[in-house]
Structure formats: structure tokens, C-alpha cells
Structure 1
Amino acid sequence: MTDAFSRTVSLIGVPTDVGAGARGASMGPEALRVAGLAEVLQAQGLRVHDRGNLAGPSNPWQPPENGYRHFEAVKAWNEALHGAVFDELQQARLPVVLGGDHCLGLGSISAVARHCRASGKKLRVLWLDAHADFNTAELTPSGNIHGMPVALLCGLGPAALTGIGGTTPAVRPDQIRQIGIRSVDPGEKRLVHEHGLEVFDMRYIDEMGMRHTMEQALLGVDDNTHLHVSFDVDFLDPEVAPGVGTTVRGGPTDREAQLCMEMIADTGRLASLDVMELNPALDVRNRTAEVAVDLIESLFGKSTLMRKTAPRA
């Protein structure tokens, strides 16, 4: 975090769970605030502006239509978020999106991609998640759009969602690195392979370690790269973070997640962040929010050890 761009952080709350299959992620923004997110960022020397919460339609809690649940509500929330994130980037601020369910990655990342096109920056998206979120209406078993944002960003779906950022596709698969994946539907898996997404799943992390994983995921990131992190809290093992609606056993430990965040921070290129799927209704005394805030603190520069240079291999 070395340039003027990254010294001012804007918190954008998006209190909705319209894309999810369980209620409760709409309370995520306040849980992160209660856990002291603004204060830990200020302790890292950042100026923090809390923009409050965006407004949007309530969750109608209806069954899917034509393969999508709550299509119009998802569209409205993501359009509002796209505008908010793009405005902050245009003012040289680092937007931190407080979700909300992960369908919101569509609005935030389409705004980041639009900003990169306008500014001539390269885009790298790190998608930290238990799920690939590469479903389509034809493949999804549920119709929940929080399982589709990566596919939508890559142009797979109706223009009303894929075109939110003004360009379809908003991103190319080669701009995305997925980390921590361990739950993928069979049809979704075929689609991931067809489109060439680079996925570092939990077997890869088990075999190669988190350090090597992050070295590969960050390969090619340079001074002209806008690095966006989309952090779904279910990336973590549920023993570490129980407060999510879609827990999947066998995720990164707290220490592995800390290393992941510290290595991202070491690049100095972090320029936007999503924090998604925190569900206080399923949490234990706000523990998951506190874990998430601790990891975000590492993402913005807190390290375990004070050292001048990275250790040599």
C-alpha cells in the first residue's frame, strides 16, 4: 500500500441476501462494523470513509423463474453497487464492499473492470471462495444467483446482468484466479474447464501449500495492475468461520488464510475489495465477523513478524 490511491478507503454496505439460498447475509455489513473494521483500517494508517448502506428492494423470497431467483431485485442491487464502486474509484479511493451475498460480485467487479478499461490498468481478480460460482440458469440446481456471478461477469447469461458495466463480457476468464475452491456442481465443473478458469482448489493448496499457491495466483501482477479481491467468508473452514450460509468443510485454516492475505498485501497493488456472505444469523457471538476483520487487517498490511525482506527459499 504505497501510493496515494490506496490511502483512502470507502466502506460501502450492501445489506441484501436476494441472491442467496438462506436469509441473514443482509446483516453482514453491520456485523463487520460492530467487529471494528473501520478502526483496524485506521490503525493501518488509512483514511476511512463509511458511506453507509446502499438501498434496494427487499428480498421477495420467491421460487426461481426461468432459472433465476429474484432476477429484478438482483439486477437493482448490482446496478446500485456498480455505480457506487465506480464513483469511489473515479475519486481515487479504495472501495471496500460489505456484503451481502456474493451475487454482488457482479456489480462491484463490473465497476472495477470498467475503471480499468478507462484508466488503462490491467485487472487481476482473486476470487477467494469455497465455490466456483460459475453456474448458469441452465445448470443451477437452485436458481440462486450468488452461485452465478463469475459466469455472468464472463458474459454467460442475459444482457440485463452481463451488461451492467457497459461491456460484455465484463472480464475475461484469464483475469481471474480462484482460490480455495472445494464445492463445484458437475455441469459447472465442465463449464469451468471449457472457459479455462485458473482454479487453485483445496487439493492444490494441500499438495503445494498456500505460499506456492499465492505465488502462482499473483504471477504477472505489476505496477500497472489493479488487484481486486473478492473474499467470500465461506473460503475459510467452518471451524474457523461458522457464520455463513454455505459452509463447506476442508477449507483453509486461519493461519493459511493469514498467509494468503499477507502475500496479497506484500504486492502493494490491492485496489478494491469485496467481503461477502457473512451471515450473523448463523454466527456465534460475532466470531466470524471478528475473524474476517482480522484477515482484512492483514490484507491491508498487518503482518505477523516485523522484517525488512521476505525470507529466501
Structure 2
Amino acid sequence: MKQKITMLGVPMDLGQSRRGVDMGPSAIRYAGIVERLRKSGYEIEDAGNIEVSKSPGVKTPEEENLTNFAEVRDTSEKLAGRVSNILSNAHFPLILGGDHSIAIGSIAGASAHFEKMGVIWYDAHGDLNTAETSPSGNIHGMPLAVSLGRGHESLVNTYKAGAKIQPDQVVIIGARDLDAGEKSYISETGMLVFTMHEVDRLGLAEVMNRTIQHLKHCDGVHLSLDLDGLDPHDAPGVGTPVPGGMSYRESHLAMEILAEADIITSAEFVEVNPILDERNKTAEAAVALMGSLFGEKLK
């Protein structure tokens, strides 16, 4: 990993229906992310937040069951440009969410710098829905599909035209709540998905080793970590909690293994919702996991 990190907040809460996740970047900063990474020897620049224009509830026929389409599209475009500029300056982009719709912009901007960028999707959900398959129309359930070239043309063409990644460049870890359309797509493409069943049977260390092996053909890897990948006991402040997730300690192990492998070239931590949290517990968990991802050691 690069020793220089540029941190960028995206206070987006329009990709879903529960308010509060727009305060996620502030909660993560309050939990001490800058100080923690500096203690590990990193030079970190806090580039502030991207401005998110908000006019929720306004829909046009173009949106095709996509809630707050224009706002998500515009923010994704802004974020993609900022992420690309960070990489152009040889810094590591660390993105703080915000709901998971921001991954559309993160992946679009980062993928412009690699021939074949891999994505590790650490999440309870697949986020592989489209307007046609989504039960809710919430775009935070669609960013991985969009990055794979599926969905509304304006979203798919964020920053550069077409798909940013292919199914064999993706690994989903921790899935335990998949919609019917997502299951069909996974089956059709053979995408590598480690559900909680596989995590329990194999152990997370083996899951991470297989993930790294699967992505060895990629020249960069983006980590997209949704805090609802963790069990709600350890991360209660998320919008769509699903029981039976990975533990705090297991998630640390996953980040430590990624740090040792030294394959992550950009990362985002999303869906921290302080309104639903318990004394900033989820933001503090996010900061601790970032510490492990960036090589923090006990000895």
C-alpha cells in the first residue's frame, strides 16, 4: 500500500430510505481515524466531504424505479473524478460513506487506473439488483450490478462508458441476504461468493486466502466494506442489519490478511449510521478495521 492516504467523505443517504447514514463520515472522523493511521506511520490528508445535492422524493419517468436517481448519478460522477485524481497523485483513496450507492463512483474512478481491477465486496448483501429486480428501488442495493454493466445506462456510464469490472474480478464475502434476481445472476455468471455458510465451514482465514488467490490475475483491488457485513451485535449502527454475520474479531483477521497480502489499492467503508448506533460503536469498529487493513500490529 502507498504510504500517503487521501481520505474523502461522501455524506450520501439518498441511495436508501433510512436517514442518518449521511453522518457516517463525521462519525468515523470523530472515532479517530486520522490519528489512528498517523500512529501507523501514514501520511494522511483529509480532503473533506463531497457535496451531495439533495432533493429527495422527486422522480421522473426516466428513473425506472430508481429512488433519488439524479442525486445518486451526479454524486457518483463527482466521486469518480475525485478518486481518479487521488490515484493520479499516487495516493491511496480511502472513502468514507455514506450508503453503499457511493461504490458506483468509487469503483468507476479507481478502475480507470487499472487494466483489470478486482473488487472484494464485504457485505451481507450482494447489491446486484437492477430496477427490474429490486424490491425497493433503492440504489444502495445496485452498485455492484452497475459496476458490472447492468442497470440504468446513465449509472453504468459513470465516468467512463460501460462495465468497469467483470464477474471473475469480484469476490463477495459474508452474503446472507440475497434477492432472487441476485441469486440468478450469481448462478449464471459463476461469480465467487462466500456466503456465511462457507465462512462457517471453511473459516474466514481460508476464505480470505481463496479470495486473494482468485484475484491474483488483477493488477489492483478495491475493497468495498459495508459495516452490515459484521453481525449486528458488533455493528448495530447500520441501515439494513442482518443477523448471523461475521464477528468483530473475524473481520479484523480478514483485514490483517489483506494487509499482509498487500493487494488493496483503494477502499471504502460504508453504511455507518450514527442515529441507529450505540455510542458510536459501529464507527469505532470501522476505524479499528481500517487500522488492521493498513497494517496496524500489536507487536
TM-score (norm 2): 0.96
Question: Shift in Å at residue 199 of structure 1?
Answer: 0.4
Aligned structure 1 segments of 4 or more residues deviating by more than 2 angstroms = 61-65, 220-225
CA 115–53 in structure 1, closer or farther in 2 if over 3 Å, else same:
same
CA 208–223 in structure 1, closer or farther in 2 if over 3 Å, else same:
closer
Question: Shift in Å at residue 228 of structure 1?
Answer: 1.2
Q: Write the mapping of 1:206-225 to structure 2, written as runs, cut at 5 A.
A: 206-219=200-213, 221=215, 225=219
Question: Shift in Å at residue 110 of structure 1?
Answer: 1.0
Correspondence 1:276 to 2:270: yes
Q: Give the aligned residue type for 2:33.
A: L
The one of 31, 34, 52 equivalent to 1:35 is 31
Q: Give the aligned residue type for 2:106.
A: S
**Residues 110, 171 of structure 1: 8 Å contact kept:** no
Unaligned runs of 5+ in 2: none
The one of 133, 137, 142 equivalent to 2:131 is 137
**Residues 118, 165 of structure 2: 8 Å contact kept:** no
The match for 2:47 is 51
Deviates more, 1:267-276 or 1:135-144: 267-276
The one of 140, 143, 165 equivalent to 1:146 is 140
The one of 65, 70, 75 equivalent to 1:72 is 70
The match for 1:110 is 108
**Residues 127, 229 of structure 1: 8 Å contact kept:** yes
Question: Shift in Å at residue 112 of structure 1?
Answer: 1.1
Measure, in 1, the Cα distance between the counterparts of 2:191 and 2:272: 25
**Residues 97, 270 of structure 2: 8 Å contact kept:** yes
Q: Write the mapping of 1:239-250 to structure 2, written as runs, cut at 5 A.
A: 239-250=233-244
Deviates more, 1:190-199 or 1:280-289: 190-199
Deviates more, 1:256-265 or 1:221-230: 221-230
Correspondence 1:256 to 2:254: no
CA 189–44 in structure 1, closer or farther in 2 if over 3 Å, else same:
same
The match for 2:283 is 289
**Residues 146, 156 of structure 2: 8 Å contact kept:** yes
Q: Deviations over 1:101-145 (max 9, x none)?
A: 00010100111111113xxxx422111000000001011110000
The one of 95, 101, 104 equivalent to 2:93 is 95
What's the Cα RMSD here?
1.6
Give the length in aligned residue pairs. Answer: 297
Q: Give the aligned residue type for 1:102.
A: H
Deviates more, 1:57-66 or 1:16-25: 57-66
Question: Shift in Å at residue 187 of structure 1?
Answer: 2.2
Question: Shift in Å at residue 165 of structure 1?
Answer: 3.1
Q: Give the aligned residue type for 1:38.
A: V
Question: Shift in Å at residue 271 of structure 1?
Answer: 1.3
**Residues 97, 273 of structure 1: 8 Å contact kept:** yes
Unaligned runs of 5+ in 1: 307-313
Correspondence 1:188 to 2:182: yes
TM-score (norm 1): 0.91
Q: Give the aligned residue type for 1:251.
A: G
**Residues 96, 269 of structure 2: 8 Å contact kept:** yes
